[in-house]
Amino acid sequence: MTTPVRLAVVGGHRGGSFDAALEVFRDRVTLTTVCDLDDRLLAQWESERPGIKTYSDYSQVLDDPDIDAVLLATPMMLHARQAIDALDSGKHVLSEVIAATTLDECWELVEAVERTGLTYMMAENYCYRRETMMVLNMAEQGLFGDLTFAEGAYIHDCRHLLFNDDGTRTWRGVAAEGIQISRANGYPTHSLGPAAQWLGINSSDRLLRTTTFVTKSASRHGYAAALLGADHPEAQQKAWLDATDSASTLIETEHGRVISLRKDSASPRPHNMTHYGLQGNAGAFISARHDGEDPLVWIEGMSPGSNLPESSRQPEWQSLWALAAEYEHPRWAAHGDKAIAAGHGGGDFFVLEDFINAVLGEQAPAIDVYDAVTWSSITPLSAQSVSEGGTAVEVPDFRAGRARF
């Protein structure tokens, strides 16, 4: 592979937001092409990035020998098929979340990566946030002790993304029905990714069983009424009977841990960018509830107070940042300023760095196909659990037969 790696963005909306990170790594990767169905968007790319090649049909990307890798930022139900086709065309893949929406796609994707030997990575940027990586660093050093519980939640009112200008549903509204994930945890990787890394899922532990319960949909029709008028069909509660506002997922791991996830993209409230927790037998972490609040930790023997019998002082939370001098993740200590400047809480910088390093053979993909499908499989598994009244369903071992621990 020669440098710079020639990259095509497929899906020019989110795909256009990596500019700052691409600029940092311009010696190693160059954006040559964008592919999108929307001609107006392509015209905008041409005017903002003179010289960029534009395609309106994905098969043109697949047939182009001058493209080494694709960044898939299309609607999520397209990701797996487009990734498999890219791999089969000899191109490396960086896929936006989630990687796949059915179990069959998960298995096909694994087979395609194993068959081609090319690089596949999922761009789960929440794994690279400063506090997420610092907690990973602390967990790996054993500060929280024997880990028992982790939680994550994606709570983001995305109702403004449900409708096109003409009042029809966007893929976010349609996909929810079309692939039976509307009454499920349809977007699990932002919440599960960091928790899975803290617990060593797919390296020292594995997801075993999962169950999901969902609420009724109470928030979408009111938003539709405000946007489209009270008489519009979408403004009726019955239009959203197949949807949920909030999905709650529990996952049991092989080593006796439990992970709790919540996905809520409809309830009216401010966006929680982070909502995580970690518990071990020697300490705990809870994320900030809103901008301006610090994430908190309590570590036995390090933080104030203790519940042990000899202690006269109750345990007290302390700011995670108070421990940064010692426990900042080395990558954030070295590159935090550059990562923040590249946007999205630093995620895009580290995602791109890890992907390019993997394409150039310098490291394994940081979020490989096994992590990608294990985390994404919660979507179809949660749909199955909900349809069966909340039964626990087995999580496939996508690494079965391969060296795991």
Ligand X SMILES: NC(=O)c1ccc[n+]([C@@H]2O[C@H](COP(=O)([O-])OP(=O)(O)OC[C@H]3O[C@@H](n4cnc5c(N)ncnc54)[C@H](O)[C@@H]3O)[C@@H](O)[C@H]2O)c1
Residue 376 interacts with ligand X (CB under 6 A)? Answer: no
β-strands 318-319, 296-299 pairing: antiparallel
| 171 or 321: CB nearest ligand X | 171
Residue 36 interacts with ligand X (CB under 6 A)? Answer: yes
Distances (CA, A) of 290 to 12, 260, 358: 30, 20, 34
d(CA 274, CA 291): 9
| 41 or 372: CB nearest ligand X | 41
| 160 or 313: CB nearest ligand X | 160
Nearest of 367, 139, 378 to residue 252 by alpha carbon: 378
Q: Which amino acid appears at position 50 of this protein?
A: P
d(CA 345, CA 256): 32
236 conformational bin, left if phi > 0, alpha if psi -120 to 50, beta if neither: beta
Minimum distance of ligand X from residue 60's CB (angstroms) = 10
- Which span (35-43, 209-217, 234-242, 299-307) binds ligand X, by CB under 6 A? 35-43
Residue 132 interacts with ligand X (CB under 6 A)? Answer: no
Residue 35 interacts with ligand X (CB under 6 A)? Answer: yes
d(CA 241, CA 168): 17
Minimum distance of ligand X from residue 125's CB (angstroms) = 5
Nearest of 263, 245, 262, 212 to residue 386 by alpha carbon: 212
Residue 14 interacts with ligand X (CB under 6 A)? Answer: yes
- Which span (73-81, 192-200, 206-214, 382-390) binds ligand X, by CB under 6 A? 73-81
The DSSP code sequence of 73-102 is -S-GGGHHHHHHHHHHTT-EEEEPSPS-SS
| 144 or 350: CB nearest ligand X | 350
- Which span (67-75, 145-153, 234-242, 267-275) binds ligand X, by CB under 6 A? 67-75
Minimum distance of ligand X from residue 96's CB (angstroms) = 4
d(CA 394, CA 405): 20
Residue 12 interacts with ligand X (CB under 6 A)? Answer: yes
Given candidates 41, 138, 261, 378, which one binds ligand X under the rule CB under 6 A?
41
d(CA 365, CA 352): 11
Given candidates 18, 25, 58, 128, which one binds ligand X under the rule CB under 6 A?
58
Residue 240 interacts with ligand X (CB under 6 A)? Answer: no
Residue 73 interacts with ligand X (CB under 6 A)? Answer: yes
| 81-120 binders of ligand X (CB under 6 A) | 96-97
Residue 127 interacts with ligand X (CB under 6 A)? Answer: no
Q: What SS3 state is found at 203?
A: coil
Summarize as ranges the residues that interact with ligand X (CB under 6 A). Answer: 10-14, 35-38, 41, 58, 73-76, 78, 96-97, 125, 171
